[in-house]
Chain A
Amino acid sequence: MPGPVHLDAAAAVPLHPAARAALLAALEDGWADPSRLYGSARRARRLLDGAREAFAEALGARPDELHFTASGTAALQQGISGVLASRRRTGSHVVHSAIDHSAVLRAVADGTSVPVDRLGRVDVDAFEAALRADTALACLISASHEVGTLQPVSEVAALCEARGVPLLVDAAQSVGRVPLPPGWSLLAASAHKWGGPPGVGVLAVRTGVRFTPAPAGPPDVPSIAAAAAGLLAVLQESAAEDARLRPLVDRIRTRVAETVPDVEVVGDPVRRLPHLVTVSCLYVDGEALLTALDREGFAVSSGSSCTADTVEPSHVLAAMGVLTHGNVRVSLHRDTTASDVDRFLDVLPRVVAALRAEAGVDRL
């Protein structure tokens, strides 16, 4: 039996070879505290500065606009708390989409959640209507991490700018995959989504945005250098990867709908991330489905992965009004082959049929 196939790129992808090479080199050369004034420290400083410049160019930011964090989640949290701390006189109200990451939803005490349509796209008019005089910050995910639907970031950015409200864009799923929409005031991303090491997040804050940075310890120079090298490599490959993965996702969308009865393929079929697709299978328990697929050698996730420790269904699927049970998210990456996808498409109908037969729901 072939080795397990990782189809959960939206959670984390394996280390990119360029990131691995940079990590090993930087462990040799970048171990010192870059703030010190001796040779090894200066070498670490040069590595950090180089990584910062690479990040800046990749994200369309200035090097001094970047803050490195321990994760994408921490970048979101620091983005929100840093703006709220500086805009107290305006207020503490935050507008965000109903499908933003749970880290955003948890970090916001006084918020308005803007609804999305059945495809998971935020309602721009409702977003504008939600902005108030005391709105200190708006947040929008660039593309849904659970269903892949691209969000109208440019439109929302324009109306936020007109109202003088800074916009925090959660670009964790977009960086390295699709061009970043312009107009953000703050941008958050996470290196292990593009093949950098786990434990590196980045928050870019435009010069002029009122912001209080979180206190930071010494940076993890080797990991940041590896993340930068991985990002540069992934950006060079991204057009080719888009052209390769997009049809594979189309194949999954079409074939699953044809071969699995009572299935809902969710998310926007066109305006979407190139590498991610989510389906829900009626009458099937999501956890049982993931376990069965794991036994068949496929690592996938459920749309409710972020909240799997609760009985609450995925807030993204709930906001879209689509089936929340029997949910599988498949996300591809540079190591995913067409034959991996074909094998998955052979296995999924069989696994779903077996689970339905076991539960006695196969004739419903």
Chain B
Amino acid sequence: MTLDCLGRPCPVPVIELAKAIVTVEVGAVLTVLSDDPAARIDIPAWCRMRDQEYLGEEPRPAGSAYLVRRSS
């Protein structure tokens, strides 16, 4: 599942991630597309606070893709 948050400022990408994570199976990977510079810090921080697994960041033509695995 991919969440397109391009053009949307923080904390929107983290909010969308939090809303979506409960809709996928444990073990599934969510991708958040964001060009907000705060997402690079806040998505891993959210994963740490919420015990979800942050898999890393991949550059995309616009912004970056942040990968999160639902682990709880």
Contact = CB atoms under 8 A, between A and B. Distances in A.
A325 B14 contact: yes
B18 interface: yes
Contact of B45 (A283, A323, A359): A323
Contact of B15 (A264, A283, A321): A283
A325 B42 contact: yes
B44 A282 contact: no
A285 interface: yes
Which label, helix, strand, loop or mixed, suits the secondary structure of the A interface? loop
Contacts of A364: 15, 18-19
Contacts of B48: 321
Interface stretch (A8-16, A176-184, A309-317): A309-317
Given A282-B49, A313-B38, A324 B10 contact: yes
B36 interface: yes
A1 B49 CA distance: 37
A283 B9 contact: no
A282 B50 CA distance: 11
A260 interface: no
Contacts, number: 55
A326 B42 CA distance: 11
B62 interface: no
Contacts of B18: 283, 361, 364
Contacts of A285: 11
Nearest to A280: B45
A311 B36 contact: yes
Contact of A325 (B19, B38, B40, B49): B38
A302 to B, nearest CB: 12
Contacts of A284: 11
Contacts of B56: none
Interface in B1-60: 9-11, 14-15, 18-19, 36-38, 40-42, 44-46, 48-49
Nearest to B45: A323
Interface in A254-297: 262, 264, 282-285
A313 B15 contact: no
B43 to A, nearest CB: 10
Given A318-B41, A321-B41, A323-B41, A262 B11 contact: no
A348 interface: no
Contact of B49 (A262, A313, A317): A262
Nearest to B40: A318
A352 to B, nearest CB: 13
A323 B42 CA distance: 5
A327 to B, nearest CB: 10
B10 A283 contact: no
B48 to A, nearest CB: 8
A323 B15 contact: no
A318 B38 CA distance: 8
Given A283-B15, A313-B38, A321 B44 contact: yes
Contacts of B14: 282-283, 325
Contacts of B11: 282-285, 325-326
A321 B49 CA distance: 12
14 contacts: A262-B49, A282-B49, A283-B15, A283-B18, A284-B11, A285-B11, A311-B37, A313-B38, A321-B41, A324-B41, A324-B45, A325-B11, A325-B42, A364-B19
Interface of B: 9-11, 14-15, 18-19, 36-38, 40-42, 44-46, 48-49
Interface of A: 262, 264, 282-285, 311-313, 317-318, 321-326, 359, 361, 364
Given A264-B45, A323-B42, A364-B15, 18 more contacts: A282-B11, A282-B49, A311-B37, A311-B38, A313-B41, A313-B42, A317-B41, A321-B45, A321-B48, A322-B45, A323-B41, A323-B45, A324-B10, A324-B42, A324-B45, A325-B14, A325-B42, A364-B18
